[in-house]
Amino acid sequence: MLGVSGGIACYKACSIVRQLVEAGATVDVVMTVSATEFVRPVTFEALSGRPVLTSLWQRDQALAHIHLGRDSHLIVLAPATANLLARAASGIADDLLTAILLATETRVLAAPAMNDAMYAHPATTANIATLKGRGWQFVGPAIGPLAEGPSEKPGRMTEPEEIVAHAKRLLCAPSSALQGKRVLVTAGPTREHIDPVRTISNPSSGKMGFSVATAAFTRGADVTLVSGPSLLQDPTGVETVRVETTSEMLETVRALLPEADVLVMAAAPADYVPRSTADHKLARADGPITLALEPTPDILENTANQRGSRCVTVGFALETEPGLERARAKLERKQLDLIVLNSATQSDSGFECDTNRTTFITQRTMTELPLLSKHEVADKLLDEVEAML
């Protein structure tokens, strides 16, 4: 259930409904009368495909305040105004939404949205503390421009994507073996410098690793993402550490491994580093030049002892030929529990695209998957990890 109270952020609540519906949720929207001044109920009706309730007195809905709260798996309040939080904290039930909040035992996730001074007011602070004490979860508010102008203090509603990410986690984590587990994911390319302005790298976008990190967060894991240079934004709820070179990635993974229950190496670390890096920009030569390269450390091989059998480890094998045997050899050599053979023979799989053709290989099994989005591959991968845990 999405409860919408009256603030300018109401227009963003439309996007929350859309994203939740897209993710497979059935969403009942309940609006306060003030919220209907900002966005008309028909908008939410179209997005949710269900009637929108706004009043205790709607025809045939006499018990809506009891059954809506009881039948929902999660109540999201976005935007949650200062007034809504105050009424909920005091147990006031003078409209449908607050009556539901008083009658329900369902978990509540609130996304406050208000003027920064209202948020900083001791009354609001006390109300939020009271509601947290009753088990309510909060996301935000964020810092950023408010309706009345720029602000450097919290008040603005957290973006819909982030609210939805937290809602998904609250819904999915209880049934996942990853809940409370520590998951370490690597992503993206690494980059080795030839001189201060030139590098050796590869076109990995980071999408596969970022998808795994996001999916692990949804399943309730405590996720750290170690990413090489990637244009993607830090995923919601995930501690993201940015590195540049393969050696930096190795050192960061080493430092984080003792805590990790799961390691997913989705990164494409550069395999070679120039023997020496010039400290100034090299001048262009007239003829060909020769660059001496040395292998970088292999992160999986160098951490095999440290991981032991304690940490479920997943690697990827990007191959441009049918690579079953090479992938199997990597599974052995790098001491993995699962290797995801990733075919880069077609343009819809491999680097810089949103889909992958993969085969999952363990010591005993081999499963060829159809063309899937990287998000779907991430979910299948974590299903395997859960089974192994």
The amino acid at 299:
I
Cα gap 23→47, rounded to integer Å: 13
Task: Record the tokens describing residue 76, joined without a space.
Answer: 């999201």
Task: Record the tokens describing residue 150, joined without a space.
Answer: 């720029």
Instruction: For residue 237, state whether it binds ligand CTP (rule: CB under 6 A).
Output: no
Closest to ligand CTP by CB, 6 vs 315, is 315
Task: Record the tokens describing residue 220, joined without a space.
Answer: 């309730």
**Footprint (CB under 6 A) of ligand CTP, residues 241-270:** 246, 265, 267, 269
Cα end-to-end span (Å), the chain:
33
Contact present, 282 and 198 (Cβ < 8 Å)? yes
Q: What is the DSSP letter of 175?
A: G
Binding mask 147-166 for ligand CTP (x = CB under 6 A): --------------------
Answer for which of 311, 317, 338, 377 binds ligand CTP (CB under 6 A) is 317
Answer for which of 124, 211, 240, 296 binds ligand CTP (CB under 6 A) is 296
Cα gap 78→31, rounded to integer Å: 10
Cα gap 214→234, rounded to integer Å: 10
Q: Which residue stretch of 20-28, 48-56, 117-125, 311-319 sits at the interface with ligand CTP (rule: CB under 6 A)?
A: 311-319
Collapsing DSSP to helix, strand or coil, 204 comes out as coil
Instruction: For residue 83, state whether it binds ligand CTP (rule: CB under 6 A).
Output: no
Q: How far is the CB of 371 from ligand CTP (least distance, A)?
A: 20
Candidate list 83, 115, 127, 202, residue with the active-site label: 202
Closest to ligand CTP by CB, 246 vs 349, is 246
Q: Which residue stretch of 43-51, 152-160, 293-301, 375-383 sits at the interface with ligand CTP (rule: CB under 6 A)?
A: 293-301
Let me know if 115 is a catalytic residue: no
Q: How far is the CB of 343 from ligand CTP (least distance, A)?
A: 11
Instruction: For residue 298, state whether it binds ligand CTP (rule: CB under 6 A).
Output: yes
Q: How far is the CB of 353 from ligand CTP (least distance, A)?
A: 17
Rg (CA), the chain: 25
Answer for which of 271, 376, 383, 386 binds ligand CTP (CB under 6 A) is 271
Contact present, 296 and 267 (Cβ < 8 Å)? no
Task: Record the tokens describing residue 78, joined without a space.
Answer: 């976005």
Residue 42 CA, chain-centre distance (Å), reads 30
User: Nearest 5°: phi and psi at 288?
Assistant: -65, 155
Closest to ligand CTP by CB, 136 vs 316, is 316
Residues near ligand CTP (CB under 6 A):
246, 265, 267, 269, 271, 296, 298-300, 315-318, 330, 334
Give catalytic residue positions: 202
